[in-house]
């Protein structure tokens, strides 16, 4: 059974930093592209960052490029998102998921976890 458990969110001031974690089990972590999504209340879920299969290339939404860094630890089956220079518009619930490849036509494979709340406010 696949499990995705997000953690590391919290309340931070604009310009601050957080590191999110996604602990996974039930699938071969390194064989899949891994993704971070976020969703604000009343808004659609959007793709924020992606790590290619076997920890290859990365790509980011324009809104977070240069501020966020996605990485993974195959030994721990854990995905990370380092978030720097946070802005109020980054406020959302953050979720992780997997895909069979890096292209956008590959949908997320698993049921959504509970996510972790990130609030950026002064």
Percent of the chain with pLDDT over 90: 89
Percent of the chain with pLDDT over 70: 100
pLDDT at res. 55: 79
Structure-block tokens of residue 60:
């980011």
pLDDT at res. 29: 86
pLDDT at res. 56: 83
Asked whether the predicted pLDDT for residue 22 surpasses 90, the reply is: yes
Dist CA 97 CA 13 (whole Å): 27
Count other Cβ atoms within 10 Å, centred on residue 58: 15
Asked whether the predicted pLDDT for residue 98 surpasses 90, the reply is: yes
Dist CA 7 CA 117 (whole Å): 8
Structure-block tokens of residue 79:
């995905």
pLDDT at res. 54: 84
Dist CA 120 CA 116 (whole Å): 13
Helical H runs in the chain? none
For 39, the 3-state DSSP assignment is: strand
Asked whether the predicted pLDDT for residue 62 surpasses 90, the reply is: yes
Q: Report helix, strand and coil shares of the chain as percent, to nearest 5.
A: 5, 45, 45
Mean pLDDT over the full length of the chain: 95
């Amino acid at each position: 059974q696949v499990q995705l458990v997000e953690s590391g969110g919290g309340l931070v001031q604009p310009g601050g930093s957080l590191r999110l974690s996604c602990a996974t089990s039930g699938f071969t972590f390194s064989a899949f592209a891994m993704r971070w999504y976020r969703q604000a209340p009343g808004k659609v879920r959007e793709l924020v960052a992606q790590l290619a299969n076997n920890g290859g290339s990365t790509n980011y939404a324009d809104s977070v490029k240069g501020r966020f860094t996605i990485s993974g630890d195959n030994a721990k089956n854990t995905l990370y998102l380092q978030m720097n220079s946070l802005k109020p518009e980054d406020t959302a619930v953050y979720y992780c998921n997997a895909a069979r490849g890096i292209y956008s036509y590959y949908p997320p494979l698993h049921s959504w976890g509970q996510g972790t709340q990130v609030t950026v406010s002064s």
